[in-house]
Amino acid sequence: MDPDELLARQLQEKELRAQAQQPSMSDEETRKAEMLKHLEDALNKVKQAEDAESQALALSLMPLDDMRAAAHLMVALNPGPGPGTLACDDYLIRELATWFKTRFFSWVDAPPCGFCGANNPRGGAHMGTPTPEERSHGAGRVEVYTCSVCDQQTRFPRFNSQRKLLESRRGRCGEWANAFLLCCRAAGLDARYVYDVTDHVWVEYWSGAMGRWVHADPCEVAVDKPLLYEVGWGKALSYVVA
């Protein structure tokens, strides 16, 4: 092999190695499309939470007067002014998160059998096709579980409609944050939806007393603990969008 041919082959091999180390344009476009879809979904949840009828429905289910009374009492018991002094909203969000987890919403790993009530599905879930009614409530996917006792199937639609979630009152972190955002807005809190690309969501509210957005996760009844995921869970975060 002459020197020119050898050099040409070496350059070609180098170029091929460089191409192999780079994601293809199709992969990049796929990731971009997925990210845009997640952001559009998050924006849709924010818009839902501003709907006056949805807020009215949430208010009809919330013991807001009791929660506000408890928040005002905490302000009276912790008078300011001074560094770290909290306002009514800062106590109200804590009351709201506690009520939401302990009295309103339920966590679902696998739903109980819809026929015999057993909590013992056989194997994991398989994905079903949403019915027209399930789609009307924003369910883009449905988990289907088979009961190990009666062999019947139970569907678990992953609803995105906040009104429907006020009815079903169950789900995982996505459903929790979605419904909690609506409750926060209905209670008059300046709240926003926070999307973590590594598969978690929560809410932040604006604290006038602290002059910043404050983390609030109803799943953990955690308020102002933004390092909960990285330090507490050992979770490696990448992109977080509010």
CATH 1.10.240.10 fits 40-106+172-233, yes or no: no
Decide: 140 and 21 in contact? Cβ < 8 Å. no
Q: What is the pLDDT of residue 14?
A: 59
CATH number of the domain at 109-168, please?
A: 2.20.25.10
Decide: 154 and 115 in contact? Cβ < 8 Å. yes
> One of 173, 196, 215, 224 is an active-site residue; which one?
173
* CA 152 from centre of chain: 30
Residues of the chain with CATH 2.20.25.10: 109-168
Q: What is the pLDDT of residue 124?
A: 85
> One of 89, 90, 137, 217 is an active-site residue; which one?
217
- Residue 197: CB atoms within 10 A of its CB come to 14
CA distances to 60, 127, 142, 159, 160 from 135, in Å: 25, 14, 10, 8, 9
d(CA 205, CA 193): 9
Give me the residue label for tokens 């026929």.
115
Decide the pairing of beta strands 106-107 and 170-171.
parallel
Decide: 142 and 158 in contact? Cβ < 8 Å. yes
Q: What is the pLDDT of residue 149?
A: 95
pLDDT-derived band of residue 32, with 50, 70 and 90 as boundaries?
Answer: confident
Contacts of 237 (CB under 8 A, 6+ apart): 196, 197, 198, 229, 230
R_g over Cα of the chain? 24
Q: Is 217 a catalytic residue?
A: yes
Q: Which two tokens stand for residue 184?
A: 């926060």
d(CA 179, CA 219): 11
Residues of the chain with CATH 3.10.620.30: 40-106+172-233
Q: Is 183 a catalytic residue?
A: no
pLDDT-derived band of residue 10, with 50, 70 and 90 as boundaries?
Answer: low
- Residue 190: CB atoms within 10 A of its CB come to 13
Write down the mean pLDDT value for the chain.
Answer: 90
The per-residue DSSP string of 215-227 comes to: EEETTTTEES-TT
pLDDT tens for residues 130-141? 999 999 999 999
Q: Is 199 a catalytic residue?
A: no
Q: At 168, is the secondary structure helix, strand, or coil? A: helix
- Secondary structure E strands in 75-122: 106-107
Rounded to an integer, the average pLDDT of 36-49 is: 94
pLDDT-derived band of residue 123, with 50, 70 and 90 as boundaries?
Answer: confident
pTM of the model: 0.86
